[in-house]
Amino acid sequence: MVNLINLENVSKTWGLKTLLDGVSLGVQTGDRIGVVGLNGGGKTTLLEVLTGIEPPDSGRVSHTSHLNMAVVTQRADLNDE
């Protein structure tokens, strides 16, 4: 089965803090995933990288064509896209 979303060795830092360090993940149709962790641990950053809101510092994010994704973050700003 083909993954809808793939993360391959994705890393992301915020300032001096590494939030994602070599994360690899594949999500297939029907999969359910939970993202849990401490405050400031990178949960929101992971979702923003998955949806393309934030680019990874390194690694690769890919998804099938015509995949619609959305995320509602704790930030108070809205994006016109």
CATH code for the domain of 57: 3.40.50.300
**3-38: per-residue pLDDT in tens?**
999 999 999 999 999 999 999 999 999 898 889 999
Q: Count how many domains the chain has.
A: 1
- Is residue 69 a part of any domain in this protein? no
| Range of the structural domain that residue 48 is part of | 3-63
DSSP letters spanning 1-61: --EEEEEEEEEEEETTEEEEEEEEEEEETT--------TTSSHHHHHHHHHTSS--SEEEE
- The model's pTM is 0.81
Q: For residue 2, name the pLDDT band (cuts at 50, 70, 90).
A: confident
75 assigned to some structural domain: no
pLDDT at 79: 63
